[in-house]
Amino acid sequence: MTLAVTTANGPGGSGTETGHGAGRPRVAAADHGAMWVYIVGDLFIFGGWFVFYLVYRAGEHTVFAESQAHLSQTMGLINTIILLVSSWLVALCVNAARARSYDEAARYAWLTILCGAVFAATKLYEWTSNIAEGRSFTSNDFFMFYYFLTAIHLFHVLCGFIVLGVLVRTLRTPALRSQGVIENCAAYWHMVDLLWVVIFALVYLLR
């Protein structure tokens, strides 16, 4: 995919400026192309699962409420804040790259990876704690959905490490630098954050 770097205030840059980094080289989100197709597709697939979750919850409300009480809502809160911070870091990374501060951008990318690793570690800890206390995938429909949704999400986080690896390599290698690749990688990580926001609300907090 070839992505054109534009200047928001320059010729041809109209319609691409959002107020972030005005006058700096950037790629319009319009140029993300295939990544948007993937993100929108993934959102609709997850959206279907979210609706299924609530329909099942409707049929077994007591089981779901009792099972949900065994989860650590505080751990869910920590996970959510970690991913929100990671999303902010990757947005700062894009902002720094637009200003051609590639070393700074790479530092933000590494911090994003660190947040992702902390998220994955806390998720594995949460799973092992639940399994050790006898709450597994087959315990009931709530835990089937809990493990399914969190596992599919964690898979996206793990894929995100590859994506963020590409981001770091792109930032560190002058010959490979492409604002389009940088912004595509960031958009993927924002999607990971966005999906977790909904999972946290539905699986951990809904009453």
Partner 1 sequence: MAARTHLTVILVLLVSVTVLSWYLGTGGGAHPMAPNLTISAAVLFIALLKVRLIMSEFMDVGTAPAWVRRASNAWLVLFFAALFMVHIAVSGG
Could you list the residues that contact partner 1 (CB under 8 A)? 15-21, 28-30, 32, 36, 40, 43-44, 47, 50-51, 54-55, 57-58, 61, 65-66, 68-69, 73-74, 76-77, 80-81, 84-85, 87-88, 90-92, 95, 183, 187, 190-191, 193-194, 197-198, 200-202, 204-207
Closest approach, Cβ 154 to partner 1, in A, equals 19
Question: CB burial class (10 A; 0-12, 13-18, 19+) of residue 111?
Answer: middle
In sequence order, which residues have a C-beta less than 8 Å from that of residue 72 and are 6 or more positions away?
Answer: 126, 129
By C-beta, is 173 or 186 nearer to partner 1? 186
Closest approach, Cβ 175 to partner 1, in A, equals 26
3 state DSSP class of 116: helix
Residue 25 φ then ψ, to 5°:
-65, 135
By C-beta, is 114 or 173 nearer to partner 1? 114
60/140 Cα distance (integer angstroms): 10
Closest approach, Cβ 122 to partner 1, in A, equals 15
By C-beta, is 69 or 175 nearer to partner 1? 69
Tokens 């959905």 -> residue: 145
Please give the DSSP secondary-structure letter assigned to residue 28: -
20/98 Cα distance (integer angstroms): 9
Tokens standing for residue 190 = 């924002």
Picking from 118, 95, 113, the residue whose alpha carbon sits closest to that of residue 27 is 95
Tokens 């599919």 -> residue: 152
Closest approach, Cβ 182 to partner 1, in A, equals 12
How far separated are the first and last CA of the chain, in Å rounded? 45
Picking from 61, 97, 70, 72, the residue whose alpha carbon sits closest to that of residue 207 is 61
By C-beta, is 18 or 173 nearer to partner 1? 18
By C-beta, is 16 or 136 nearer to partner 1? 16
Closest approach, Cβ 171 to partner 1, in A, equals 17
Closest approach, Cβ 75 to partner 1, in A, equals 11
By C-beta, is 24 or 175 nearer to partner 1? 24
